[in-house]
Structure 1
Amino acid sequence: MWQQIMRVRQRAIWSWDGFVHVFRTEGSLSQWLVANGFFAILAFVLPLSAGERGMLLMGGILVLAAECMNTAIERVVDDVSTEQRDAAKQAKDCGSAAVAVTGVAVGVAWVCVIVGLIW
């Protein structure tokens, strides 16, 4: 039992270290955090159901996760080789696209919720 607790603790430390690394090295994570803060306040101010609020907050957190994965892809690609390669560019572009698509998905969710409130 104690070993399991220590493993969970260690994984939490590694995860936090990864998040701090992304925060310190990728300005876009800071931008997403500010956007998430603004939209989280909006989600709690608007008369939303618990499900709507949860979906919107979860979406914002998923954008942060996508940004972390994009950074991981960039680090691995750069670690393999610093020379310009088509596959390296494609991998980085795909990681960036994942962040963009996740952001668009959250935007669509917000539009649906806002239209539902207005309608």
Structure 2
Amino acid sequence: MILRQIEKVKWRVVWSWQGAAHVWKTEGSFHQWIWLNVIFGVLAFVLPLSLTTRGFLLMGGIMILAMECVNTALERIVDDISTEKRDAARQAKDAGSAAVAICGIGVGVAWVFVLIAWWTGAPV
């Protein structure tokens, strides 16, 4: 029973890694988000932030990466259904892109408030 569960977890890890590798190979925007995560991740550890603040900021960056994976999945599904240009297909792809952008804006807003608090000496 336990070995069966371990096997299931193993395959979930393999499939997840394959999905992440596919997004890495095919999506330039994923590369941009990775680099931004590296830069802001370093900043999160350099600034004197509370563990909670640091955790939320790092989590936000990871959530953007997750949204980029979801957006890529949506694009693949739309493209697999038909290569014909359709308004619904364009709208679905645009909505996925908007989800990534909105998530990025949310994390950006959090960073702005953290940086303002740090600059003014307020607790962060």
2:41 is the alignment partner of 1:40: yes
1:67 maps to 68
Deviations, residues 60-108 of structure 1 (Å, cap 9, x unaligned): 0000000000000000000000000010000000000000000000000
The separation in 2 between residues aligned to 1:46 and 1:117, in whole angstroms, is: 8
* TM-score with structure 1 setting the length: 0.99
How is 1:3-82 mapped onto 2 (pairs within 5 angstroms)?
Answer: 3-82=4-83
Secondary structure in 1 matching 2:48: coil
Partner of 1:99: 100
- Spell out, residue by residue over 1:25-55, the C-alpha distance to the aligned partner (whole angstroms, 9 max, x if none): 0000011000000000000000000011000
- The gaps in structure 1 that reach 5 residues or longer are none
Q: How far apart, in 2, do the equivalents of 1:26 and 1:114 lie?
A: 30
Distance, in Å, in 2 between the alignment partners of 1:21 and 1:117 is 38
1:30 partner letter: H
Q: Which runs of 4+ in 1 moved over 6 A?
A: none
Q: How far did residue 115 of structure 1 move?
A: 1.1
Secondary structure, aligned partner of 1:21: helix
Q: Secondary structure at the match of 1:113?
A: helix
Give percent identity, aligned residues only.
60
Give the equivalent residue in structure 1 for 2:87.
Answer: 86
| TM score, norm. by length of structure 2 | 0.95
Separation of aligned partners in 2, 1:74 and 1:82: 11
| Structure 2 equivalent of residue 115 of structure 1 | 116
Q: Which runs of 5+ in 2 are unaligned?
A: none
